[in-house]
Amino acid sequence: MLRRSAAVSAAALLCLAGAVGTAEAGSTSLYAPSAVVLSVGKGDASGPITVLRATTLGCAPVPGGTHPAPEAACAELKAGFAGGGFGGLLASPDPDRACPQHFDPVTVTLDGVWEGARTSWQHTFSNACVMGATLNGGEAFAF
């Protein structure tokens, strides 16, 4: 009887340990994913946009992807995300930077999942110089 009781207790402890291990693994893997594709292209929203370059960026659970500086880009996207969009990435153009006044539109896009929700954002600049001045050397679109 004692042997049977010990076997049942050992089996119960193993089941409990397995359940606790599963619960711990599940709790550390629950997160709101953030993974996007960033692109820079020629053209504007009124016509076709020719993608010049693109990269992937995963920010949650850990920074990664093909972006050359994923940690810095993720920090910039987190800081620039407000009100369901990424308009916070746009700053007042650097006043010390002079750009030509020619129209050669460049569009940046961000598509994917941010904090667990589907997102799509784009912004068109009049030319590449204005894009650089408005993004103020940010890391997100520096690839």
Label residue 73 exposed, middle or buried (CB < 10 Å: 0-12, 13-18, 19+).
Answer: buried
Segments of the chain with pLDDT less than 50: 1-27
pLDDT of residue 29: 52
pLDDT of residue 8: 37
Beta partners for 113? 35, 118
The token pair that represents 70 in the structure block: 């994923």
Put the strands of the sheet holding 117-125 in their side by side order: 50-60, 34-42, 106-114, 117-125
pLDDT of residue 26: 40
The number of C-alpha atoms within 13 Å of 83 and in the hemisphere containing its C-beta is 3
Predicted TM-score of the model (pTM): 0.75
pLDDT of residue 85: 86
The number of C-alpha atoms within 13 Å of 100 and in the hemisphere containing its C-beta is 6
Distances (CA, A) of 104 to 20, 49, 112: 59, 12, 27
pLDDT of residue 128: 94
CA distance 101 to 113: 35
- Give CB contacts under 8 A, 24+ apart, made by 46-55: 49/107, 49/109, 53/143, 55/143
Q: Is the dihedral of CA 130, 135, 138, 142 positive or negative?
A: negative
